[in-house]
Amino acid sequence: MGKRVALVLGSGGARGYAHIGVIEEIERRGYDIACIAGCSMGAVIGGIYAAGKLDEYRSWIESLDYLDVLRLVDVSFRLGAIRGDKVFGQIRKIVGEINIEQLRIPYTAVAADLTNQQEIWFQEGCLHQAMRASAAIPSLFTPVVQGNRMLVDGGILNPLPIVPVVSSHCDLIIAVNLNATNQKQYQLPVIERPAAFKMRFDALISSLGSRLPFRRKPAEQLMRLEQEIVAPANPWLGEGADPEGQQPAAAPQSEGAPKSATGSFIVDNVGPASLLDLINQSFEVMQTSLAQYKIAGYPPDVLINVPKRVCRFFEFYKAPELIALGREIARDTLDNHEGVRR
């Protein structure tokens, strides 16, 4: 039997798909993953793996195109831009109803309790609820209310939860950091997709960010906003949208916004493009700093660094590219580790 590994999977939005490639490379080398701790997408991927359903999950996410991802976006403007019911409903179908105690290996999901301002470890109870709470990215997904606790993405306190596996007595602790800043040699593989679908997806994210309220609005206003986003007449999902993507719809524009010669909206690349972007860029800056502290305090035996610049936090349609990138980085990192050990 190969060396027993305690695997730590960090938070980082869509970059979490790289965890799948890392797991594949670890298993390919004959290592035995004996326990997992994860945060946000790390908790989701880790939980699905511990339930033995990673192959089914990978097949599903790799089959999604832009339009499929758009259909999974259930818009909400109450405590997050997206409710997440459709996405996590599909995950529930894949994984089934299972408690953490029933998983084949020990598992910890890390969330943050806003009410009591503390870190929460899920090590028993409903796996689905643990994953959902850990992945409730502030401003993007609505929080999970559990009793008197309001739970959100654990990345606001512990984006790389190494501590839960320190006492596992495994041969190696391997941690996957999705917020690395110094991995310039790695680029996301290029997979061609219809440009029109990408424009529609970017238009939706832009609209979510520009319409995200700074304060609570009356229910009537919220309903009107939601209907405007998801109604059949909206410009990127509505009537007249070519399903083959031959005539991409234009993104929403602001009055007086600068336009190119073709009339398209010019986005200033300096700084966030929307409120949603601003919040999540701030969130990622915080995660990067916190991850560095966690690594310094509890250095893992192997640290696999995935550069945060490879994709935006919400680009969940890039699963094939990110899985391949995770596998590549894991291969190089483990080659280096094994070479040193020989």
Q: Annotated catalytic sites, by residue?
A: 40, 153
Task: Find the Cα–Cα–Cα–Cα dihedral 190, 327, 111, 216, rounded to 10°.
Answer: 0
C-alpha dihedral sign at 312, 318, 321, 325: positive
Nearest to 24 by CA among 242, 322, 340: 322
With both helix axes pointing from N to C terminus, report the angle between 195-211 and 275-297 in degrees, rounded to the nearest 10: 90
Closest Cα to residue 248, out of 198, 289, 213?
Answer: 198
Closest CA to 308 of 184, 181, 186: 181
Is residue 152 within 8 Å of 114, Cβ to Cβ? Answer: yes
What sign results for the dihedral spanned by CA atoms 204, 42, 322, 285? positive
Buried b (16+ CB within 10 A) or exposed e, 248-276: bbebbeeeeeeeeeeeebeeeeeeebbbb
Nearest to 251 by CA among 243, 263, 261: 263
Paired with 126 in beta bridges are 99
Q: Where are the alpha helices (DSSP H) in the chain?
A: 18-28, 41-50, 54-62, 66-71, 85-95, 127-134, 195-211, 219-230, 275-297, 319-341
Helix H, strand E, coil C: the string for 158-218 is CCCCCHHHHHHCCCEEEEEEEEECCCCCCCCCCCCCCHHHHHHHHHHHHHHHHHCCCCCCC
User: Whole-angstrom Cα distance, residue 70 to residue 314?
Assistant: 12
